[in-house]
Amino acid sequence: MKINVDRDRCVGSGNCVAVAPGVFDQNDDGFVELLLAEPTQDQHAAATEAELICPSGAVEIDS
């Protein structure tokens, strides 16, 4: 699994950080920061949920 984040599409909702705090963070402007482009196996479910609930579609996962 590899995660890609389009910062230009991010609206700063923080949903990704809420469900996968070990994978995502927010910068000082409130926009997504990717902590792990290739999350561990135990983080896959949370990362997938983050992709699904991102309101702007900024989080994309390549399996």
What total number of domains does the chain contain? 1
Report pTM.
0.92
Euclidean distance between CA atoms 29 and 51, whole angstroms = 21
From the list 36, 38, 13, the residue with the least C-alpha distance to 26 is 13
Contacts (Cβ under 8 Å, ≥6 apart) of 10 = 31, 32, 56, 58
- For residue range 26-62, list pLDDT tens digits in order: 999 999 999 999 999 999 999 999 999 999 999 999 9
Residue 13's pLDDT band, with cuts at 50, 70 and 90, is very high
CATH, residue 22:
3.30.70.20
Q: What residues make up the domain containing 21?
A: 2-62
- What is the reported pLDDT for 63? 80
